[in-house]
Amino acid sequence: MDSLSSDEEEVRTFVKVMSEKYNPENFPYGQGVVVLCSPPGSPNKDRLFLPSILVLNHCGISKAGDRTDIAAFCAHVVELDLSHNELNDWVEICTIVSNVPHLDFLNLSKNPLSGVELEPSMADVFSRVRHLVLINTHVSWNTVHTLTKHAPELEELFLCLNGYDTVSESQTSCPSLRLLQITDNHLREWAEVRKFGMMYPSLSTLVLANNNLDSVGDTQETLQCLFPNLRSINLNNSGLSKWEDIERLSFFPKLEEVKVKGIPLLEPYTAHERHSLLLAQLPSVVVLNGGAVFNGEREDAERFFIRYYQDCPEQELPQRYHALVSKYGQLAPLAEVDLSPRSTTVDVRWGERVEAVSLRLEQTVGDLRKQLKALLQLPTNGIRLFYINREMCSVVGPEELKCGSRALHSYRIRDGDEILVVPKVKSRCSSSDL
C-alpha cells in the first residue's frame, strides 16, 4: 500500500478528529458517556467512548472520512457541534449527517459555506434535524430554502452574521419553524421582514436585533395574517424612529414579549418615560425589554400615557390615547411636588437670648449643632438641644435631640417652634457610687 502524501496526511476528517478526541487515553470513561461494542470486522472500534452530545468545534475538519466509521460510532449522537471548522462542501456535510440517524441539533456556524449550494437530491438527510445553526457561514438563501423544504421537523433556525440585506422568498413554506434568529445582518426594509411571515406561518419567536430595520409596515389586517402565531419579537438596536411602528406591533394577535432597546425613537426620553409609553402602547405584552410586567404596572403606565399626551393638539394625539381615555376618562394633571430642600424658621433660646434661625430640614442634628455653634458662638460638646412643639407644649414636654445623624424633618419641626439650648451638667456621682 502506497504511503499517503504529506498533503493527504494533513486532511482533518470528522472520523480522525473524533478518534483523537474521544480516544480512551484522552477521554476516560465517565458519566453520560456511551461505550460501544465493536462491529464485526472492526476490532478497534470499541476504543472510542462517545457522548450523545458531540462537540468537535475548532478542529480544522474539512472532510467527513469513512462513512462506516461515522455510522458505527454516532448511532446514538443527538447533538453535533461542528462550528469553526473548514467544511466547505455540502457533500461532506451530508455524508456526516446521513450517518447520524438520531441527529436533532446541528451547529455548522463559522464554516465557509459561501458560494456552495446544497443539491436538493442530497437534502433529505436533514429530515430529522429540529435545530439548525448556520451563524456566520454566509450560506445562500437558496440553500436555506433547500434545507427548510427537506427538514419537515425543523423548529429553530439561526442565520445571524450572514451579511443578508435582502430575503429571497421560497415557494415552499416551512410550517414547522417556531424560532428564527437572524441578528446582525443588514435588513433595513419591512418588505424583507414580511417575507418571513409568508414562509414560516407558525413562527413564534423572531429575533431581529442589530439590523437597521427602519419601520414596521403593513396594515393591522395584513400583520394579523402574516404573523398569526408570533409571541416574541426582538428589535433591539434597530432603526425604528416612529411611535406608529410600536403601535403596529400591537397588531400581532398573540404577541406577548417585545424587546426594543437602543432604537432612535426612545433616545429623547427618560427611562421612566420609555417604559411607560411603550407599555401603554402594547396592551397584550407581559414581558417588555426582558422584564415581566407586574400587577398594577400597566394601569400606572396607561394613566401616565394619558397625562403625557392630554395637552397635545388633536391631530397629534396617537390612536392609543383615545382608547385609553375611553377606558379611564379624562384625568386631572398630577399635583406638582416641590422636591427642593425644605426649610423652616424656629426660635433658638440660649439662656435669656432668643434668635430666629432658619433651618434646612434635611440636615441632621449634628449639622444643627455646628450651625448653632457658628451663629451663637456656642461650645458644641458642652450643650444639649431640646425641641419644643409650640402647639403641643402644654401636652408634650421638650424632646431632646440626641442622635447626631437623625434628620431634622423626622421631628416634624414647623415654623414658630422652639429649639432650647442648655449647658451640659456633669454628674456628681460616678458608677462606683451606684
Residue 7 has pLDDT above 60, yes or no: no
Mean pLDDT, residues 81-89: 98
pLDDT grade for 112, boundaries at 50, 70 and 90: very high
Distances 289 to 51, 156, 195, 293 between C-alpha atoms, Å: 37, 22, 25, 10
If you average pLDDT over every residue of the chain, what do you get?
Answer: 87
Grid cell at residue 167: 430575503
Residue 416's region, left for phi above 0, alpha for psi from -120 to 50, else beta, is: left
- Interval 195-254: pLDDT, tens: 999 999 999 999 999 999 999 999 999 999 999 999 999 999 999 999 999 999 999 999
Residue 28 has pLDDT above 60, yes or no: no
Mean pLDDT, residues 371-384: 76
Mean pLDDT, residues 30-49: 47
What gap in Å lies between CA 185 and CA 165, rounded to an integer?
A: 7
Q: Would you say 288 and 279 are in contact if contact means Cβ atoms under 8 Å apart?
A: yes
- Interval 132-141: pLDDT, tens: 999 999 999 9
Q: Torsion angle, CA of 133/136/139/141, rounded to 10 degrees?
A: 80
Residue 405 has pLDDT above 70, yes or no: yes
Q: Report pLDDT for 25.
A: 65
Residue of 288 and 38 predicted with greater confidence: 288
Distance, CA of 218 to chain centre: 27
Residue with cell 472520512: 65
Residue 420 has pLDDT above 80, yes or no: yes
Buried/exposed 303-327: b ≥16 CB within 10 Å, e otherwise:
bbbbebbeeeeeeeebebbeebbee
Q: Report pLDDT for 128.
A: 96
Burial of 204 per CB tally in 10 Å (0-12, 13-18, 19+): middle
Q: Report pLDDT for 36.
A: 47
> Of the given ranges (29-38, 105-114, 247-256, 409-418), which has the lowest mean pLDDT?
29-38
Residue 83 has pLDDT above 80, yes or no: yes
For each of the domains in the chain, give its residue range(s) and CATH number, in order of start: 11-162 (3.80.10), 343-423 (3.10.20.90)
Q: Report pLDDT for 2.
A: 46
Q: Torsion angle, CA of 296/302/304/305, rounded to 10 degrees?
A: 160
Residue 425 has pLDDT above 80, yes or no: no
Q: Specify the 3-state DSSP secondary structure of 70.
A: helix
pTM of the model: 0.73
247 half-sphere exposure, CB direction, 13 A CA radius:
13
pLDDT grade for 47, boundaries at 50, 70 and 90: very low
